[in-house]
Amino acid sequence: MKPISETGFIVWFRRESMASISIREVAARAGVSRATVSRVLNGNTEALVAEPTRSRVRQVAIELGYHPSAVARGLAGKPMNTVGVVMAYDLPSVTSDPFLGPVLDGILEANKRHHQKTVLFTEDNWQSAFANLPIYCDGHCDGLLLIAPRTDSEIIPALLRGSRPFLLLGDSREVPGLSCVDIDNGNIAREVVEHLIAQGHRRIAIFCGNADFTSSAQRLQGYRDALEASGLPYDESLVFPGEYWEWSGYENAEKLLRLPAEQRPTALFCSNGRIALGALRALTDRGVLVPQELSLACLGDNMEIASTQPPLTAAHVSLRQVGERAVETLLGQIHAGLPSGSRTLLPAELVLRESVAPPPSR
Amino acid sequence: MKPISETGFIVWFRRESMASISIREVAARAGVSRATVSRVLNGNTEALVAEPTRSRVRQVAIELGYHPSAVARGLAGKPMNTVGVVMAYDLPSVTSDPFLGPVLDGILEANKRHHQKTVLFTEDNWQSAFANLPIYCDGHCDGLLLIAPRTDSEIIPALLRGSRPFLLLGDSREVPGLSCVDIDNGNIAREVVEHLIAQGHRRIAIFCGNADFTSSAQRLQGYRDALEASGLPYDESLVFPGEYWEWSGYENAEKLLRLPAEQRPTALFCSNGRIALGALRALTDRGVLVPQELSLACLGDNMEIASTQPPLTAAHVSLRQVGERAVETLLGQIHAGLPSGSRTLLPAELVLRESVAPPPSR
DNA sequence: TTGTAGGCGTTATCAA
DNA sequence: TTGATAACGCCTACAA
């Protein structure tokens, strides 16, 4: 009774009572060893098996409805064909977030194309994400996509110390050996500001995003680069710290309007669309005409921005594409053994709408 | 050299070159067997281990940064703490879909709360979803959430034949042994139509959703129930087949307006928000006044619906809650061994806005 | 060309 | 209270 599990009886028993049948049953029914079944059904080893055996095994596998267990396979060191996505957010909705939503769409799309499953790890904050790091690395997935951690998160050095492939999405800090896929914050911001300068503006304000996001500093730098390239002075009174939220744009616009007339800028660059939306609302509330009195442009685009009054000039970035490229880069690291440490910075396209005009003549 | 993996050398080797260290190393370092380590660290068996041993093992585990492999655990028959979500869609965006988006938010939220990972299986259509069914059942997750399959999908009988816990989300067909979580389509539709009747309407049209969705028939039935309860005739010329899309609402509104004046309804019930949006647009385009000439109400609510001109009266359903309840029901089946076959139908709340008025007096 | 045997990391069942 | 030992399902040397 030792090899009972090889008998027909047990095959029948398994089929009826358990979920799935294993390589054992296929081997027994086909009259070959488990190794042979494995060779036939997996990877590129079919060639090692003689044709009659091969087709018999195939036949039996289909008859029995056999399908290998990814878990067992994973344990044996094969890839799980699964991409993990770690995101920490304190938002009520992931899907309707203008950043997370499109990025997730891109990730899902690319994973579908590459026959990868997607495991989502959602956390309230980066502390708990860090605490749960071991869970993300418990074998469930072959690699990790980290979405936009703050600059101070310990999670990155921890992951860097480990050996699991991962990359940063929506953050492009420069750290040796760290892969990331992001939009090209600096250059995109520069282009937007250059457009304002080309329209004749000399005093241009910037509303910044969260100070602890890498992107904020990069966008500010782009703003500085544009000014410098045109020989315009960098005036700190025109730099408004803030956060990537509508309320921040609103508040900063109110502050901006309190500046004495001669110090007031003629154009405003908002670090993202939500800030721009808030700023526009404040300006409208105060009766400031856009673009007649103040031109407004921002980085980042979404449907709402195009349907404001006036529609906003903005750098259109494809966050969806960021998600797709992130997946492809990670898969390269996992399966093709590409080295980590690559930086992919996607460009934007400036969309001219009606919120920018030449400065008013004094 | 046989038990080499138990030596300190190998421990060091593993730590540096491999991803994670296993229960072996902990056992070796703590001077106990693997079984004991397992007892201490997992489940509710710590009590079986003597205190000094227990704390020593704990200590070593922390020192070594040990964390169990979910994959190995899964192979050994323990739950993966992972919920699978299968969705087939031909949409460009999952996250911005007014149904999928909120449902996904609810699922993620509930999974986070219950410390479950979420694995997403996305397919283009239900044929390929069916074809990949074995992959969803390859051990990766403990149970499956199926989102809104069409009435004809073979995937449900296949899953019903298997033993893996699963349930239907956003579909509430009545099949013995089949669990589902959905909104209460029939009753919600009935309530909306009853509201129209209460306003004095006698001729009420309905714009239906996709014929192969369970919900369409249920909503139509609710419409019929409301008419019947008030003794109003069911007039097939007021029933417009269609799909859950804006274009369908637009087209059907055009058809409706072609009816001879005496046959024309005074109120319109749209089976979902998108249909209502399309219908309203067509009516506005043709200069038909809502609600003066035609009252309009729909099932399903989203932000767009509240900001139309006029804002639409609608049954507000919490799709997010559907997602949450689905997760909780599934987890009940998986972990608490609750029986399958439960039907959870969530109610809606009628939100009165300005698109409904009493019928015009002839 | 095929089979045997050992291992992947964990848990469960015995026995000590 | 603890430790061997045998699963779990698959993969892969190595041997035949």
Provide the number of CB pairs (under 8 Å) joining chain A to chain B.
135
Give the closest of B20, B101, B117 to A119, CB-based: B117
The verdict on pTM exceeding 0.85 is yes
The tens digit of pLDDT for each residue in A157-202 reads 889 888 899 999 999 999 999 999 999 999 999 999 999 999 999 9
- Nucleotides of C strand lying within 7 Å of any protein CB atom: 1-5, 7-13
- Nucleotides of D strand lying within 7 Å of any protein CB atom: 1-13
Contacts of A75 in chain B (CB under 8 A): 69, 71-72, 75
Other beta carbons within 10 angstroms of residue B327's beta carbon come to 28
Q: Are the Cβ atoms of B82 and A118 closer than 8 angstroms?
A: no
pLDDT in the model for residue B15: 32
Q: Hey, is the C-beta of A121 within 8 angstroms of any chain B C-beta?
A: yes
A302 or B169, higher pLDDT: B169
What would the DSSP string read from start to end of B223-243? HHHHHHHTT----GGGEE---
The most confident of the ranges B90-94, B151-155, B205-209 is B205-209
The tens digit of pLDDT for each residue in B321-334 reads 999 999 999 999 99
Strands A204-207 and A166-169 come out as unpaired
CA distance B346 to B325: 9
pLDDT in the model for residue B362: 63
Q: Which of A293-302, B1-10, B28-37 has the lowest mean pLDDT?
A: B1-10
Q: Are the Cβ atoms of B138 and A105 closer than 8 angstroms?
A: no
Name the pLDDT band for B151 (thresholds 50, 70, 90).
Answer: confident
The tens digit of pLDDT for each residue in A26-79 reads 999 999 999 999 999 887 788 888 888 999 999 999 988 899 999 999 999 899
Q: Are the Cβ atoms of B124 and A112 closer than 8 angstroms?
A: yes
- For the segment A199-228, the average pLDDT, to the nearest whole number, is 96
Cite the beta strand spans of chain B per DSSP E.
Answer: 82-88, 117-123, 143-147, 166-169, 180-183, 204-207, 239-240, 267-270, 295-299, 313-316, 343-346, 349-351
Assess whether the previous peptide bond of A291 is cis (omega < 30° from 0): yes
CA distance B116 to B331: 9
Contacts of B113 in chain A (CB under 8 A): none
pLDDT in the model for residue B180: 95
CA-to-C1' span, B148 to C11 (A): 37
With a pLDDT cut of 90, the percent of chain A lying above it is 74
Shortest distance, CA B137 to any CA of chain A (angstroms): 8
Give the closest of A92, A96, A119 to B101, CB-based: A96
CA distance B272 to B333: 31
Shortest distance, CA A83 to any CA of chain B (angstroms): 9
Shortest distance, CA B84 to any CA of chain A (angstroms): 9
Q: Are the Cβ atoms of B71 and A140 closer than 8 angstroms?
A: yes
Shortest distance, CA B222 to any CA of chain A (angstroms): 31
Question: A78 beta carbon < 7 A from strand D?
Answer: yes
Determine if residue A341 is left, alpha or beta; phi over 0 gives left, psi from -120 to 50 gives alpha, anything else beta.
left
Which residues does A227 contact at the CB level (< 8 Å), separation at least 6? A193, A197, A204, A233, A234
Q: Are the Cβ atoms of B75 and A95 closer than 8 angstroms?
A: no
Contacts of B135 in chain A (CB under 8 A): 67, 70, 117
Q: Are the Cβ atoms of A101 and B80 closer than 8 angstroms?
A: no
Q: How far is CA B283 from the centre of its chain?
A: 32
Residues 141-170 of B with CB under 8 A from A: 162-164
pLDDT surpasses 90 at B70: yes
Give the closest of B65, B74, B122 to A108, CB-based: B122
With a pLDDT cut of 90, the percent of chain B lying above it is 75
Question: B337 beta carbon < 7 A from strand D?
Answer: no
Nearest to A288 by CA among A315, A316, A246, A259: A259
Residues A322, A346 contacting (CB under 8 angstroms): yes
CA distance A152 to A147: 14
Q: Are the Cβ atoms of A19 and B108 closer than 8 angstroms?
A: no
Average pLDDT, chain A: 90
